[in-house]
């Protein structure tokens, strides 16, 4: 029983209006169906030049013009939970116009730009694959790209990929890898008034924190982009009761490593940093980074088409570009919005970011409007 | 509507039987009424020589024989929650007979010995005050000794006090003080892939743990008893999310200090240990210790009456003897049961402890049975 009509998206609308319409279709991870329906309908209605594939709540649209190269442009439809910040609003702050609301920055601005250009880029210099996917803001195993890469890797094959994650409308190449390690020290429990019969596990973490505090992180320059590594304790816990010497304490470490380093090399490095300490070290999560691959011809063409105002930098945070790198496809991040605003309650996107991203990509893809 | 008859205690029963009967009257903190009723009834029925005062669920019984000195003997009626270990059972393990059940060790063995001697010690060399009190196993503010010390300090006045807490039937003099301090380091939150714009608060705890790990605790010898100090992190916490540099991390420290040290001196000492570090230090809990006062004439008489088998040591853990010390009364701990078994699911008391405690105290108090 649907009492409200299904939302309709007009891909030819002004890019700000289109972004607002997409933001206003709530799509917290797991609830992407309505937005996927609207995206699919817009593509089927307005883009005869595209093959449209619906796979779960992911929508893939492709040209088949027999061109030499294929570029994939991908954006996720889902958002983190709403924080009383829907529907979207508009405001002007310090002379800057902004669209405010959950998903405006991460990453419905990018989705709007891609949806509009999917419909309008009919004479692009390359074949195009547009991917609007679900479950990005949750566990990697649930990300629909995981399923599609396994079941239909051909759907994702391309010479170059652009991910519409927020980059403040600059290009951010590749991404660093990430690894989480649980580092546990053991001791012997005892009453805290008789510590000499015990062995304090929290105290055994002293040299771990000491080494992390003194750690000098590597800066790797790849294709002219600087990836700064980071090694940190992101969580620490231990303690049984206020009168007990704890027999166990754990620090959760997060190592962000340059994309020239494999997961195996990353693990070996952290173990070397902690060498000689009596600890249990368990990797709880890891993902390789992505090399920027800017010298690849398809990437070089894209960079050449950018105006002088577009900045070029390394992507420090891990993004789904690493999934494309794992498939052998060099990839960059390029999208409207400040990545530091992603997931915040005050999530917003400057209207100039929406317009410039649309303009730069459109120019490259031969859209003259 | 009482459907079961109120339990009746026979203070002349064998000390093991009496202890079992007391253990079998469940009296988790807040539920001491039935046991207090039974203790009060036993005293009123069997001890004409005592003035009996009922104050809440505390029962106080006193002689008024006009003797030079007054000794107070106190035991709490309450226990920590039952762990499927009631009613009590008997067993023999490794040739040792034991009474098993919640409260058997902490501290209904002591209560049974005191109840029996309260009735039978009619010709003691000192005037006696027996205190059976409630709410010991909960917050200090709820302990009935707190209320009675404020409302009727005369009820607790004595020259010497004996607390029946488990000491494996040895005498443990005085007790150490205790202080808890929350030690918080501040930093600046940031994404863990861009730690250079943040400041990791967990890493700032490195020198705290380092100093605690290297800490050489003082051993204070007072009246021939050695109080070993302890300074430990008993809890540590910090962390916002696996991809965030935390802006706050806290270690909870527990300092156990010798009874020659005041709370103020203890605080100053911990601050000195942590001197020069940028930390917020908050005392969350503190209680002074108790000097053993063994050279006091009343204490000396008691010690002189002990047999050679009774050991004498410092009490390392904090107990209510500190409350008597605060009232100017030297105090020792003396009771059946291993203090390390208190609060455990396998709580039990050796029958030899019950008998020897009864025997030693009875000899001193002139009970010949």
Which CATH number covers residue B143? 3.40.630.10
Report, as residue numbers or ranges, the catalytic residues of B: 78, 136
B279 inside domain: yes
Contact between residue B270 and residue B224 where contact means Cβ atoms under 8 Å apart: no
Domain final position from A287, A304, A333: A287
Co-location of B162 and B61 in the same domain: yes
B276 inside domain: yes
b/e per residue B93-114 (b: at least 16 CB within 10 A):
eeeeebbbbbbbbbbbbbbbbb
Co-location of A24 and A126 in the same domain: yes
Statement: residue B179 has pLDDT above 60? yes
Band (pLDDT 50/70/90 cuts) for residue A5 is confident
The C-alpha atoms of residue A78 and residue A101 are separated, in whole angstroms, by: 13
Which of B191, B249, B254 has its CB closest to that of A317? B191
DSSP output for B239-286: ES-TTEE-SEEEEEEEEEE-TTS-HHHHHHHHHHHTTTS--EEEEEEE
Complex-level ipTM: 0.86
CA dihedral B120, B126, B129, B132 (to 10 degrees): -50
A9 inside domain: no
Average pLDDT over residues B301-317: 88
A1 inside domain: no
Yes or no, beta carbons of B242 and A194 under 8 Å apart? no
Mutate which: B192, B219, B279, B343, vs A, most A CBs within 10 A: B192
CA dihedral B96, B97, B101, B105 (to 10 degrees): -70
Statement: residue A340 has pLDDT above 80? yes
B8 inside domain: no
Domain final position from B258, B287, B316: B287
Statement: residue B149 has pLDDT above 80? yes
Render pLDDT for B260-287 as a digit per residue (tens, 0 to 9): 999 999 999 999 999 999 999 999 999 9
Chain A contact present for B179, CB below 8 A: no
Co-location of A44 and A29 in the same domain: yes
Look at chain B and report how many structural domains it folds into: 2
Yes or no, beta carbons of A191 and B251 under 8 Å apart? no
Co-location of B56 and B182 in the same domain: no
The CATH number covering residue A219 comes to 3.30.70.360
Yes or no, beta carbons of A228 and B191 under 8 Å apart? no
pLDDT above 70 covers a percentage of chain B that reads 99
Q: pTM for the whole thing? A: 0.85
Band (pLDDT 50/70/90 cuts) for residue B59 is very high
Contacts of B248 in chain A (CB under 8 A): none
Co-location of B134 and B198 in the same domain: no
Range of the domain at A35: 15-175+290-364
Tell the burial category of A369 from Cβ atoms under 10 Å away from its Cβ (0-12, 13-18, 19+).
exposed
Yes or no, beta carbons of B238 and A235 under 8 Å apart? yes
Contacts of A209 in chain B (CB under 8 A): 202-203, 205-206, 209
Q: Identify the DSSP state of A229.
A: P
Q: Check residue A305 and give its pLDDT.
A: 85
Co-location of A38 and A152 in the same domain: yes
A326 inside domain: yes
List Cα–Cα distances, A175 to A4, B52, B81, in angstroms: 42, 79, 54
Statement: residue A368 has pLDDT above 80? no
Q: Chain A residue with minimal CA distance to B241?
A: A234
Domain final position from B264, B287, B310: B287
Co-location of A278 and A359 in the same domain: no
The C-alpha atoms of residue B231 and residue A361 are separated, in whole angstroms, by: 63
Residue A173, beta-bridge partner list? A314, A332
Contact between residue A318 and residue A176 where contact means Cβ atoms under 8 Å apart: yes
Render pLDDT for A193-247 as a digit per residue (tens, 0 to 9): 999 999 999 999 999 999 999 999 999 999 999 999 999 999 999 998 888 999 9
Statement: residue A104 has pLDDT above 70? yes
A2 inside domain: no
Which of B228, B246, B256 has its CB closest to that of A234? B246
Statement: residue B293 has pLDDT above 90? no
Co-location of A261 and A316 in the same domain: no
B74 inside domain: yes
Render pLDDT for A232-247 as a digit per residue (tens, 0 to 9): 999 999 998 888 999 9
Co-location of B305 and B343 in the same domain: yes
Chain B contact present for A167, CB below 8 A: no
Mutate which: B80, B166, B203, vs A, most A CBs within 10 A: B203
Residue B232, beta-bridge partner list? B254
Render pLDDT for A123-158 as a digit per residue (tens, 0 to 9): 999 999 999 999 999 888 899 999 999 999 999 999
Co-location of A161 and A309 in the same domain: yes
Co-location of A254 and A318 in the same domain: no
Yes or no, beta carbons of B241 and A251 under 8 Å apart? no
Co-location of B167 and B299 in the same domain: yes
Q: What is the mean pLDDT of chain A?
A: 95
What number of C-beta contacts closer than 8 Å exist between A and B? 161
């Amino acid at each position: 029983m649907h009492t409200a009509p299904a939302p309709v998206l007009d891909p030819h609308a002004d890019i700000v209006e289109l972004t607002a319409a997409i933001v206003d279709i709530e799509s917290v991870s797991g609830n992407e169906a309505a937005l996927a329906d609207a995206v699919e309908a817009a593509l089927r209605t307005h883009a005869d030049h595209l093959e449209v594939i619906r796979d779960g709540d992911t929508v893939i649209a492709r040209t088949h013009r027999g061109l030499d190269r294929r570029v994939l442009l991908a954006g996720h439809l889902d958002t983190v939970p709403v924080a009383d910040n829907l529907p979207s609003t508009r405001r002007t702050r310090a002379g800057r116009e902004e669209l405010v609301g959950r998903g405006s920055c991460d990453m419905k601005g990018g989705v709007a730009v891609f949806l509009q250009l999917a419909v309008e880029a009919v004479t692009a210099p390359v074949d195009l694959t547009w991917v609007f996917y679900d479950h990005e803001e949750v566990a990697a195993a649930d990300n629909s790209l995981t399923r599609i890469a396994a079941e239909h890797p051909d759907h994702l094959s391309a010479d170059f990929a652009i991910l519409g994650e927020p980059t403040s409308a600059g290009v951010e190449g590749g991404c660093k890898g990430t690894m989480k390690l649980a580092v546990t020290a053991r001791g012997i429990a005892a009453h805290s008034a008789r510590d000499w019969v015990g062995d304090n596990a929290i105290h055994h973490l002293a040299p771990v924190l000491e080494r992390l505090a003194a750690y000098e992180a590597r800066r790797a320059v790849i294709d002219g982009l600087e990836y700064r590594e980071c090694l940190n304790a992101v969580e620490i816990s231990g303690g049984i009761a206020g009168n007990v010497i704890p027999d166990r304490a754990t620090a959760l470490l997060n190592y962000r490593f340059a994309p020239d380093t494999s997961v195996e090399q990353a693990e070996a490095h952290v173990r070397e940093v902690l060498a000689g300490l009596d600890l249990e070290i368990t990797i709880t999560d890891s993902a390789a980074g992505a090399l920027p691959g800017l010298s690849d011809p398809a990437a070089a063409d894209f960079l050449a088409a950018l105006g002088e105002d577009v900045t070029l930098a390394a992507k420090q945070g891990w993004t789904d570009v690493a999934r494309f790198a794992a498939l052998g496809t060099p990839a960059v991040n390029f999208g409207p919005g400040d990545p530091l605003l992603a997931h915040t309650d005050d999530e917003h996107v400057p209207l100039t970011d929406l317009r410039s991203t649309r303009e730069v990509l459109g120019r490259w893809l031969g859209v003259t409007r």
